[in-house]
Amino acid sequence: MGKDIKNKNILELSWPIFVSAFLGIMLGNVDTAMLSQYNENAVGSVGNANTILGFLTLTFTIVSSATGILTAQYLGAKIKDRLNQVYTVSVLFNLVLSVFISLILYFLNEPIMALLQVPPEIRPDASIYMQIVGGLIFAQSIFSTFDQIFRNNGKTKIGMVLALMMNIINLVGDYSVLYGPLKVFNFGVAGVAMVTAVSRIAMLIVAIIYFIFKIDGSIGVKYLRPFPTDILKKLLGLGIPTAGENLCYNLSQITIVAIVNSICLMENSTVPLNTRVYCNLLCGFTYLVPMALALGTQIIVGHSVGGNDYDFAYKRVNKSLKISLIISISIAVINCLLSPFSLGIFSNNSAVIELGSQIMFIGIFLEFGRTTNIVIINSMKAAGDVKFPTILAMCSMWGLSVLFAFILGIVFNLGLRGVWIAMAADEIFRGVVVAVRWKRGTWRGKRVVSES
């Protein structure tokens, strides 16, 4: 199986991942659009609740991301007898962790919102949303583990099918409770929360069925006797640095938002903040294709390294990087050229359109670095080289992106342009460093599985 997956066409693995990611973006946009027509406060309440939920769900990536790496390497090494232990420990760990987080969100949601200064007028709706969605967050946690198992077994289409199913349930459910036959019950935000929870539980149930019939492996208590401590150590050893990088990125972005808010106060205008939102939306589609290619490449690299075929992994990543750079920079250039028209879809403010067009030009250079990072860093992680990207991210994101966003944006009064230049500098710097590391082969020999 390892050899078959290693030699699969990269597009065969990547296009279902692209569709899944695209559906994920559309899911959030459709929810926001439906709620905005229902009640503006509802949008704010769900937005604030999802910010808190999204931050806490980063903890699930500790084990789920590591599950993918171990799965790929064990399959590549053709050591299938340890996989059942990997699957069982991963699901058990995320179940225990998510139940603990669910209890916190259910019983302590109001103190959390008070700490984050959520406006009083939207707290009741935000609270009920967090209690329902957060109280059943274990479904999302366990599904994230199964999704990694499917992907690294080469079955990326399963995740796409489940993402499509979730979109359909959400679309039909949200319409029914807000505007359709269930509108008479006036469920409002609580109804939207119930739809989200039901769709995730349904997705988990189908994922379990897929696992039973489509994956060569099983989950059971018997694989915990004696407890495979070495497997848990490997999962945490791989997962904590990966989650640390994600946490570092999210905290840096929150800080940059605060800097942009300060720029708005200085300029006595919301133009910088609104422009940032619109440009991020447009840029999101720029790196969607490279991200899908990077995740497909990550699967192949994991299998290659598991089989000790480092040269194959090296050549595959170089090929994927060239393709990804051509695609992302081409989309970024098109985005830049069309920005006066595309930004006009969101706003008729000439100041937003002018500033946004300048930001999209800077974005061309930013994408060069970001695409390089996405492809190479994901491949380094698949090879077991997980600590270096985290250390590099902490130093670069805060030493370049955040620090120079403040210096250029506020001290030198370049505003949002300065913020984007700082973010581009961070991405390009990290891109150059990881490209050099990949070429030197420092990642070789960091394989985490062994025949013993």
C-alpha closest to that of 59 among 105, 20, 28: 105
- Is the pLDDT reported for residue 328 higher than 90? yes
48-52, 187-191, 290-294: range with lowest mean pLDDT: 48-52
pLDDT band at 32 (very low <50, low <70, confident <90, very high): low
Q: What is the mean pLDDT of the chain?
A: 90
**Residue type, position 418, single letter:** G
DSSP readout, 87-146?
HHHHHHHHHHHHHHHHHHHHHSHHHHHHHTT--GGGHHHHHHHIIIIIHTTHHHHHHHHH
Average pLDDT over residues 187-191: 87
Answer whether residue 452 shows pLDDT above 60: no
Q: What is the pLDDT of residues 395-430, one digit of tens each?
A: 999 999 999 999 999 999 999 999 999 999 999 999
Q: How many beta carbons lie within 10 A of that of residue 201, not counting itself?
A: 15
Phi, psi for 266 (deg, rounded to 5): -60, -40
Instruction: Tell me the domain boundaries of the chain.
Output: 2-227, 240-440
**Cα distance between residue 140 and residue 157, in whole Å:** 18
pLDDT at 29: 67
Question: Is the per-residue pLDDT at 75 higher than 50?
Answer: yes
Position 1 pLDDT exceeds 50: no
pLDDT tens for residues 220-236? Answer: 999 999 999 999 999 99
> What confidence tier does 286 reach under pLDDT thresholds 50, 70, 90?
confident
Answer yes or no: is pLDDT of 78 > 60: yes
Question: Which of 32-41, 197-206, 267-276 has the lowest average pLDDT?
Answer: 32-41
Encoded tokens for 131:
């209690």
Question: Per residue in 104-154, pLDDT tens?
Answer: 888 888 888 777 667 777 788 888 888 998 888 899 999 999 999 999 999
